[in-house]
């Protein structure tokens, strides 16, 4: 049965916003009426459907406030959209401020005789970084406990949530997903790559260039590999670490062979060019970028932190190393690049394992959760009445 679903997310290039947007697009393709409620148009929301809508959250700049009251305005907007679009449920991505705003909206609606449940999906840094700040922890724990249903994108994130917060409620693991048709291996009829005119091997990293991604380690790995074989480094994204990345590249003599591609929207086109994908992160709740690379048949060399071992399987889709093991990761990259047979085997394994996370396998789990949550809400309403 088609549902009217409100989705709240950050409309940026971050993993939670990308996953939420792709989920909304797929739900719309499946016939649901999807309403995004965000402060800007989600970056991946490029395809229009008659049943896909965007409601902007506009925060007024009152002199009274030192900081814009976004959470309050978001809660009010959720009430307005829910009432006028007759939404069945809200699905919020990221614990704060989205889950706490959804809680306020739900209680306002309840006072008006309207029962609309909200589901919270935990994506990672809302738990692993922000959530560990004592200033936020009580609110996050309350928002999780108050949600009508909670999901996490990996077993690792679910375990970490229970470890760091005083919560006693089921958290269902529904992993991130991938469009296996959009993300696929490079075909023979594609144009030659402009980044390696002499056939150099291509290493790729995609992130927001924050310290947690350890892009400086990417540069160090590249320098070690480049000392052995001709290669280039492609960096997709941008962020606060970029000046340090550029400085280290100049220091190591690799800057001329490094291409900064910025915030690419059709990133699958870049994945297809790569020979190896690098993700030496300090923390990854899931590792969506690794999955995108794997779907394109690209082996992954990553750290063994967080949810990465659930995505990148040791010796099957690529290799895992302890955090900061730059030399070990460089060794693994060379193993892939210098042994064509090994590289092909891992690329095929990466593509095969990515199918586990195919859209058709994962999105129905969200649909099932929506219907179960609505049924439970209706049942509680009958008991209370």
Task: Kindly list the distances between the CA atom of residue 41 and the CA atoms of 17, 139, 298, in Å, as whole numbers in the listed order.
Answer: 11, 27, 30
In the prediction, which pLDDT does 144 show? 93
| Average pLDDT value for the chain | 91
Residue boundaries of the structural domains of the chain: 4-177+359-384, 201-357
DSSP letters for 77-91: HHHHHHHHHT-SEEE
User: In the prediction, which pLDDT does 16 show?
Assistant: 78
> Do you find a cis peptide bond into 97, omega within 30 degrees of 0?
yes
Rounded distance between C-alpha atoms, residue 338 and residue 231, angstroms: 12
Q: Can you point out the beta strands (E) in the chain? A: 4-8, 33-38, 52-56, 89-93, 118-122, 149-152, 172-173, 201-207, 231-237, 258-262, 276-279, 300-303, 318-321
Fold of 201-357: Rossmann fold (3.40.50)
Task: For residue 186, name the pLDDT band (cuts at 50, 70, 90).
Answer: confident
pLDDT band at 346 (very low <50, low <70, confident <90, very high): very high
Residue among 75, 69, 77, 120 at smallest CA distance from 101: 75
Check residue 39 and report its DSSP letter.
Answer: S
DSSP string, 263-328: S-SSTHHHHTT-SEEEE--S--SS-HHHHHHHHTT--EEEE--TTHHHHS-BTTTEEEE-TT-HHH
Q: Say if residues 373 and 119 touch (Cβ distance below 8 Å).
A: yes
pLDDT tens, position by position, 50-103: 899 999 998 877 665 566 788 899 999 999 999 999 999 999 998 888 999 999
| pLDDT for 47 beyond 70 | no
Per-residue pLDDT tens over the stretch 140-173: 889 999 999 999 999 999 999 998 888 889 999 9
Of 366 and 126, more confident: 366
Domain 4-177+359-384 and domain 201-357, same fold? Reply is: yes
Structural Rg of the chain based on CA atoms: 22
Contact 300/275 with Cβ under 8 angstroms?
Answer: no
Q: What is the pLDDT of residues 240-299, one digit of tens each?
A: 999 999 999 999 999 999 999 998 878 899 999 999 999 999 999 999 999 999 999 999
Residue 139's pLDDT band (cuts 50, 70, 90): confident
Question: Which class does domain 4-177+359-384 fall in?
Answer: alpha beta
* Phi, psi angle pair for 205, to nearest 5°: -140, 140
By three-state DSSP, how is residue 100 classified? Answer: helix
Q: Which of 46, 5, 61 is nearest to 28 (CA)?
A: 5
What tokens were used for 3? 């549902």
Structure-token pair, residue 139: 């609110």
């Amino acid at each position: 049965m088609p549902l009217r679903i409100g989705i709240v997310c950050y409309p940026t290039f971050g993993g939670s916003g990308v996953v939420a947007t792709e989920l909304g697009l797929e739900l719309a393709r499946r016939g649901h009426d999807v309403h995004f409620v965000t402060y800007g148009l989600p970056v991946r929301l490029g395809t229009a459907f008659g049943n896909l809508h965007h409601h902007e959250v506009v925060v007024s700049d009152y002199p009274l406030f030192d900081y814009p009251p976004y959470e309050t305005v978001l809660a009010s907007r959720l009430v307005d959209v829910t009432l006028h679009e007759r939404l069945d449920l809200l699905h919020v991505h990221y614990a704060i401020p989205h889950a706490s705003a959804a809680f306020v909206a739900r209680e306002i609606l309840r006072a008006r005789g309207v029962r609309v449940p909200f589901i919270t999906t935990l994506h990672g840094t809302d738990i692993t970084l922000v959530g560990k700040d004592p200033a936020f922890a009580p609110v996050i724990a309350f928002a999780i406990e108050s949600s009508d249903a909670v999901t996490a994108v990996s077993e690792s994130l679910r375990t970490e949530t229970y470890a760091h917060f005083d919560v006693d409620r089921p958290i269902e693991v529904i992993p991130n997903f991938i469009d296996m048709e959009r993300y696929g291996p490079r075909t023979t009829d594609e144009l030659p790559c402009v980044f390696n005119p002499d056939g150099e091997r291509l290493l790729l990293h995609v992130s927001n260039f924050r310290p947690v991604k350890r892009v400086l380690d990417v540069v160090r790995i590249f320098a070690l590999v480049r000392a052995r074989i001709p290669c280039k480094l492609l960096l997709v994204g941008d962020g606060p670490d970029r000046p340090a990345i550029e400085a280290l590249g100049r220091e190591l003599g690799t800057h001329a062979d490094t291409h900064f591609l910025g915030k690419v929207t059709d990133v699958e086109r870049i994945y297809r060019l790569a020979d190896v994908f690098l993700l030496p992160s300090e923390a990854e709740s899931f590792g969506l970028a690794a999955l995108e690379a794997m779907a394109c048949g690209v082996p992954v060399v990553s750290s063994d932190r967080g949810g990465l071992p659930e995505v990148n399987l040791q010796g099957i889709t690529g290799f895992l190393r302890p955090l900061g093991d730059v030399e070990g990761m460089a060794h693994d990259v060379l193993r892939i690049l210098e042994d064509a047979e090994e590289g092909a085997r891992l690329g095929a394994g990466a593509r095969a394992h990515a199918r586990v996370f195919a859209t058709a396998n994962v999105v129905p789990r969200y649909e099932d959760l929506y219907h179960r949550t609505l049924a439970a809400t209706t049942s509680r309403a009958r008991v209370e009445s």
